[in-house]
Copies of this chain bind each other. A is one copy, B any other.
Amino acid sequence: MSNPLHINAGRLLGDIADLARIGASDSGGVHRPALSPADIEARAWFRERTRTGGFRPGEDGAGNLSAVLPAADPSARTLLLGSHLDTVPDGGRFDGALGVLAALEVLRTIREAGLILPVRLEAIAFTDEEGTHISLLGSKAAAGLLAEADLEHPHSSREAFAAGLARAGLTPEGLLSARRDPASLAGYLELHIEQGARLEQSGTDIGVVTAIVGIRSFWLTFTGEAAHAGTMPLPDRRDALWGAAAFIGRARAAVLADFMPGTMNCGIISVTPGAFNIAPGQARLALEFRHPDTAVLEEMEAALLALAGAAAEEHGLQLAVTPVGSVAATPLAADMIAAIERAADRLGRSHMRLASFAGHDAMSMQAITPSGMLFVPSVGGISHNPGEVTPDADIVSGANVLLHTVLDLAGAADRGS
């Protein structure tokens, strides 16, 4: 039991530093949106690291890149380990990259240790997790969750999406044919930074993710009447922004009072006509809210939309509610949660269970195979930001827990000593 197997810390940290140079932004972060030239460069770099690690590089129709460590039995099921290489605009160096590079490092460590596991191991980098074009694109494709209609309305634009696919040599047909056979899979594991501050604040090494939040998003359009900002007396106005502003404050208060640890966000707002001297006739507001419990998410939706309706009515406005997206809350696999906890215990790492308030590729994979996630701390909870930092020790600790979770699941924990 002493001297359990460990990953090569220097090699993993070196890989993270090397990858962070691809798309490095002036602000010290990483700008590597999916299928951008920087992302294409990162993909080529990963293929090369796969090759130099001695693994056969693989790629499916969705552009998901793999490194494979075969099992003794060629018919063995595959345990997938991965995350994504793309970033949000001007994001950080750990979100996604950590999970992919730690997966590759786990494969290298197991091979170098001469371990022959009863499962095939595959380190996988999923395409466009962040949704530059389509959120969770690669993992949805792999899970068979992608429909032709999903390709019609990319977040970017049809032109930008088509250009990105062409850059990566991908096609819509390929995307729709990338589904993995669930019977071929033994599970999916993803190591990720927390992107919150709960681990740091509680001094915990490892977060064991119990569920990934459900997310709902809407456009709220408040419509009143544009008016001259001087001549229309205040009491007679139907100012659309007044309704939107009242809603924002009340929605925040309602979530704080009744729906914690749920979250709400109004991340985009615009008014028309849009002039210093015209009272807004219309205000368009992006609303998103999250909760790990589907039943509570339903209650939040009812409460928040009722608040929007009341704010509109108070100011003589009409309210139009347009659903934009809905992601179901995803409980992760109990077996995976238990295996991660055993691995952390084996390595003497403290751990706590928590929900993930961000979406991850594990949401897709859980649809076809038992999936688990583990988090390492993010300093200050900063994420989707150049200031994203996870200390080296936590990175190494997380990769080692990932390694031992694999060994545990493979029934090889003892051999990993």
Contacts and interface: CB of A to CB of B under 8 A. Distances in A.
Interface of A: 88-90, 130-131, 155, 194-197, 213, 215, 217, 225-236, 239, 241-242, 244-246, 248-249, 252, 255-256, 260-261, 263-271, 273-281, 286, 288, 290, 324-325, 356-359, 378, 381-385
A89 B273 contact: yes
Given A226-B384, A248-B245, A249-B246, A231 B358 contact: yes
A227 B95 CA distance: 13
Given A90-B273, A249-B249, A269-B269, A263 B381 contact: no
Contact of A275 (B267, B273, B279): B267
Of A245, A246, A261, A264, the most chain B CB neighbours within 10 A belong to A245
A275 B89 contact: yes
B267 A384 contact: no
A325 to B, nearest CB: 8
Given A231-B358, A265-B276, A269-B269, 6 more contacts: A131-B276, A197-B233, A233-B263, A268-B276, A270-B270, A273-B384
A248 B241 contact: yes
A234 B260 contact: yes
Contacts of A260: 233-234
Of A256, A277, A384, the most chain B CB neighbours within 10 A belong to A277
A358 B256 contact: no
A274 B278 contact: no
A244 B241 CA distance: 11
A227 B89 CA distance: 12
A247 to B, nearest CB: 8
B358 A265 contact: no
Contacts of A229: 263, 265, 267, 288, 290
B235 A256 contact: yes
